[in-house]
Amino acid sequence: MTSLWEMRYVMPTFHVSHLGGIMTDQPQTHTKSYVPASSSMREMTFKAVILGLLMAVVLGAANAYLGLKAGMTIAAAFPAAVIAIAAFRLPFMKGTILEQNISRTIASVGESLAAAAIFIIPAFVMVDVGGSRLWTTFEYWPTVIMMLVGGLLGCMFIILLRRTLTVDADLPFPEAKACYEMTRSGQKGESGARYVFGAMGMGILLEMFKNSSGIAIIKEVKDLAFTFPKSVINHFNSAKQSLGAITHGGSLHFTTPLASPALMGVGYVIGPKYSTINFAGGVLAWLVFIPLALFLNPSFGEQLSSTGVVVGQGDMAYTAWYNLVRPFAVGAMLVGSFFTLYGLRNSIFSAFKGVFSKHEHKKVTQNRLEKDLNLKVIFICTIAFIIPMAFLFHAFTGSLLGAIVAAAVMIITGFLFAAVGAWLVGLVGISNQPLSGLILSTLIISALLMLAIGVTGMPGIAATLGVATVISAAAAMSGDMIQDLKIGRFIGGTPWKMEGANIVSTIIIAFVVIFPLIILHEGNIAAGGIGIGDPKLPAPQAGLMAQLAAGIIGGQMPWALIIMGMFFSIGLIMVKAPSPMLIAVGMYLPFETTFAIFIGGALKWLLNRFMDSLRISKEKKEMADNTGALIASGFIAGEAITGVLLAGMVLLGIPSVSQMIFGTSDLPLLGKAGGWISLILFAIVGYGLVVVPLRKARKSA
C-alpha cells in the first residue's frame, strides 16, 4: 500500500488477506470461468439493475460524506458483493451469480464517480483569489457535464482496452481474484452480510446520538491545552553581539480522538502501520509545528487582535494550522505525489509499453465471454466527447484557443492516465492505484499550458480544474471498471452486458452525484459552519487542487510555505521515512480525525496480538480479519449515510431531531455527561472490531 491519499481512499478497500485470497507477485492464470461460456443463465435483469443502482446511490452518498470528512472514499466491490449475495437469497429476490455480478458492477459506479467528485469538484467552491470566488455554490449543469463526460470517457477507454488488460497482459489482479473467491464461496455458505448490516445499524444509532443534528448526547471531541511557561531568550548575531531579549511563550493545543466509528473503521481496515504513519503527520502538525509557530512569534495574538476581535490561544492554534501548516503540508504532498509516481516508474513504463504493444488482439473465439460493445462505435464516441467539453471550456475561459488546448489535454492525458491507472490496478489492486499523483500531474500540466497561452486569472483556474475533474472521473472509472470486468471474467459474466450496465449507471449517477455534496455543504452552513473547507468537511484533496490551481494561475500561492513543505518531504525521503505523502496528509487533516483513524489501527493491532498469543491458525486469522473488515465496513456505511440524511434534514429547515422531539437542540445531558458517554461509543467499537472477530476465530477453531 502506498498511502492513504492514494488508496481512493478506503472502506472497505480490503487487502486480499482479509478475504482469504492469496496475493502473489506472479500473474494468476484463470482460464476457466465459474459460469461456462455456453451457459444461458439470467444476467442483466430488472432486479439486478435496480439493486445495483440503489447500492450505487447509497455508496456514492457514503463516499461523499467520508471523502469530505476524512479525505478517503470507499471501494464498493466487496460490500456490494456481500449485499448482492444476501439480497439474491431473499425469497422474493432469488437470483443467479451473474445477476449478483451485474449488481456489483453497477454499484461500483457510484463509488467511482463520488470518489472523483470529492477529489476535485469542491475545489471550484474553495478557490479564493483576492476575495473573489470561482463558485459561491455548486453549479449543477457544469458539474453534471464534467462528471458525465469523464465517467463515460473512462468507460470507453476501458472497453477499448478490456482484452488487452484482462487477458493478453496476464496481470495478477489480486483484489479481483479475492472478490471472485468471496463471491464464489458465498454461493454455498455464509456471506458475512449479518456483520455488515448489524454494524451498519449500530453505526446509524451512534451517529444519531452524537451528531449535533440528531439527538446529541455524546460529545464528539474534547479540546485540551497546555500553556508553556514564559522563556526569555537573549538573541545575538554571529559575532555574539547582543541583539536584544525577547520573551517567548506559546501553548500546546490538541484534542481527544473524534468519537467516530467510521474513522475508527477506516483505521482498522488500513491497519496499524498506515494509521500510525498518518497520525504521525497529525502529531508533527499539532504538537510540533503549531507550537513552534506560536513560540517563534510572541506578538501573534496582538497582530490578530488588531481588528478588535478577541483572539484566544485556541484561535491562534487554529489559524496557524489552517493558514500556515496546511500550505506547508501542500508542498509536502506535492513532492510525495511525484515521489510515489517515481517509485512506480517501472510499473508505469510497463503499463505504457503493454497497452501500446498489445492493442491488436489475436483472433479469439467469439463466444459469450469475448463479446464487447461495438469497438468502432466506442472509438467514435470517445473522440466525439471533445465537442461538448470544448464548449464548456470555452464558457470557462472565453478563449477559443484555451478551449481547444484544454480539450486536447483532456483527451490525451485522459487516455494515457486511464490506461496506466487500469494497468496498475491489475498489478496491485484498486487500493494502491496512485490516483492523486496522476491527477496532480494533469492539473499542473493544464495550469502551465493555460499560463503559456495567456489564459490567466479565474478563467485559467476554471479551465485547469475542469480538465482535472474530467481526468479524475475517467481515471477513477477506468480503475474500478477494469477490476469489475476481471471479476466478471472469473465469474463468467458477459463483457458487453457489464459494459452496457456501467455506461447506463454512469449516465444516471452523473446526474445525482452532486446532490450529497450540495446537501453536506449547505447543511454545514446552516449549522453555523462555512461549508466545504470547514473543519468538519475539510476536503483535503480538493483543497490541495484549489490551492495549486489558484497558486499557479492566480498568483495567490504562499510559495515560501509550499517550498518549505517540499524540502520537508525531501528530508523525509532522504531518511527513508515510510510514506511521506501519508505523513503530509496527516498534517493537513484535523488532529481529531487522524487520532480516530489511529485508534482504529490500534484496535487491529490489539486483535493481532490476541490472536498471536492464542496461537490461532493462519486460516482462522484470515477469518477473523474478514469478519472485522466487514464490521468496520458497516460502521463506516452507517455513520456516513446517517450524516448525509441529517445534513439534508438541516437543509430543509429542521435544526435537529432533538429539536423536533424535545423542543431544544441543546440537551443538558450532553454538557453534563457527554464526554463520559462517548467512552461507551469507544467500547462498542472496540467490542465490534476486536471481541467479535476473536470469538469468530476461536469458535471456528
Question: Cα angle at 517 between 512 and 522, to 5 degrees?
Answer: 120
In single-letter form, the type of residue at position 590 comes to: P
- What number is the average pLDDT over the span 327-339? 80
CB contact at 8 A, 157 and 418:
yes
CA torsion, points 61, 517, 557, 278, in degrees to nearest 10? Answer: -30
pLDDT digits (tens, 9 = 90+) for 482-507: 989 998 998 999 999 999 999 999 99
The band of 687, judged by pLDDT with boundaries at 50, 70 and 90, is: very high
pLDDT digits (tens, 9 = 90+) for 625-653: 878 888 887 887 788 778 767 876 776 77
- What number is the average pLDDT over the span 130-151? 87
Nearest of 362, 483, 503, 364 to residue 427 by alpha carbon: 483
Q: Which residue has the higher pLDDT, 302 or 101?
A: 101
C-alpha cell at 14: 480490503
- What number is the average pLDDT over the span 683-693? 94
DSSP codes, 347-389: HHHHHHHHHHHS-SPPP---SGGGPPS-HHHHHHHHHHTHHHH
Instruction: Give me the pLDDT at residue 571, please.
Output: 95
Instruction: Give me the pLDDT at residue 73, please.
Output: 62
In single-letter form, the type of residue at position 361 comes to: H
Query: Quick one: what percent of the chain has pLDDT higher than 90?
Result: 18
In single-letter form, the type of residue at position 282 comes to: G
C-alpha cell at 600: 482504529
Residue 547 C-beta-side C-alpha neighbours within 13 Å: 24
Instruction: Give me the pLDDT at residue 458, please.
Output: 86
CB contact at 8 A, 83 and 634:
no
Instruction: Give me the pLDDT at residue 6, please.
Output: 35
Q: Which residue has the higher pLDDT, 598 or 589?
A: 598
Q: Which residue has the higher pLDDT, 515 or 8?
A: 515
Q: Can you tell me the distance from the alpha carbon of 633 to that of 642, in angstroms, rounded to the nearest whole number?
A: 14
Fill in the DSSP letter of residue 170.
-
Specify which residues 227 forms β-bridges with: 251
Q: Average model confidence (pLDDT) for the chain?
A: 81
Residues whose CB is less than 8 angstroms from the CB of residue 657 and which lie 6 or more positions away in sequence, other chains included: 208, 213, 214, 215, 646, 649
Q: Is the pLDDT of residue 28 over 50?
A: no
Helices marked H in 173-260: 174-186, 193-210
pLDDT digits (tens, 9 = 90+) for 393-447: 888 878 888 888 888 887 887 777 777 777 767 765 665 455 665 677 678 777 8
Output 391-398 pairs: Cβ under 8 A, ≥24 positions apart. 392/142, 392/145, 392/146, 392/466, 393/463, 393/466, 393/467, 395/142, 396/459, 396/462, 396/463, 396/466, 397/450, 397/455, 397/459, 397/460, 397/462, 397/463, 398/459
Instruction: Give me the pLDDT at residue 368, please.
Output: 85
Question: What pTM did the predictor assign?
Answer: 0.72
Fill in the DSSP letter of residue 29.
P
Q: Is the pLDDT of residue 616 over 70?
A: yes
Question: Cα angle at 256 between 254 and 261, to 5 degrees?
Answer: 140
Instruction: Give me the pLDDT at residue 47, please.
Output: 94
C-alpha cell at 432: 494502491
Q: Can you tell me the distance from the alpha carbon of 599 to that of 614, in angstroms, rounded to the nearest whole number?
A: 23
Residue 254 C-beta-side C-alpha neighbours within 13 Å: 19
Instruction: Give me the pLDDT at residue 18, please.
Output: 31
Specify which residues 252 forms β-bridges with: 226
Q: Which residue has the higher pLDDT, 129 or 520?
A: 520
Q: Which residue has the higher pLDDT, 385 or 130?
A: 385
Q: Is the pLDDT of residue 575 over 90?
A: yes
Instruction: Give me the pLDDT at residue 1, please.
Output: 31
Of 145-159, 226-240, 468-482, 522-536, least confident by mean pLDDT is 522-536
Q: Is the pLDDT of residue 58 over 90?
A: no
C-alpha cell at 233: 531568550
The band of 189, judged by pLDDT with boundaries at 50, 70 and 90, is: low
Q: Can you tell me the distance from the alpha carbon of 581 to that of 576, in angstroms, rounded to the nearest whole number?
A: 12
Instruction: Give me the pLDDT at residue 226, please.
Output: 87
Q: Which residue has the higher pLDDT, 116 or 178?
A: 116
Of 241-255, 258-272, 301-315, least confident by mean pLDDT is 301-315
Q: Which residue has the higher pLDDT, 396 or 178?
A: 396
Q: Can you tell me the distance from the alpha carbon of 692 to that of 701, in angstroms, rounded to the nearest whole number?
A: 14
Helix axes 435-452, 97-126, angle to 10 degrees: 40
CB contact at 8 A, 34 and 188:
no
Specify which residues 245 forms β-bridges with: 234
Q: Which residue has the higher pLDDT, 183 or 206?
A: 206
Q: Is the pLDDT of residue 603 over 90?
A: yes
Q: Which residue has the higher pLDDT, 421 or 454?
A: 454
- What number is the average pLDDT over the span 455-470? 86
Nearest of 90, 68, 66, 91 to residue 76 by alpha carbon: 66
Of 251-265, 396-410, 588-602, 608-622, least confident by mean pLDDT is 396-410
Residues whose CB is less than 8 angstroms from the CB of residue 267 and which lie 6 or more positions away in sequence, other chains included: 275, 596, 597, 598, 599, 600, 601, 602, 603, 604
The string over 446-478, giving b where at least 16 C-beta atoms fall within 10 Å of a residue's C-beta and e elsewhere, is: bbebbeeeebebbbbbbbbbbbbbbbbbbbbbb
pLDDT digits (tens, 9 = 90+) for 370-396: 888 887 888 888 888 888 888 888 888
Instruction: Give me the pLDDT at residue 392, please.
Output: 80
The band of 609, judged by pLDDT with boundaries at 50, 70 and 90, is: very high
CB contact at 8 A, 406 and 75:
no
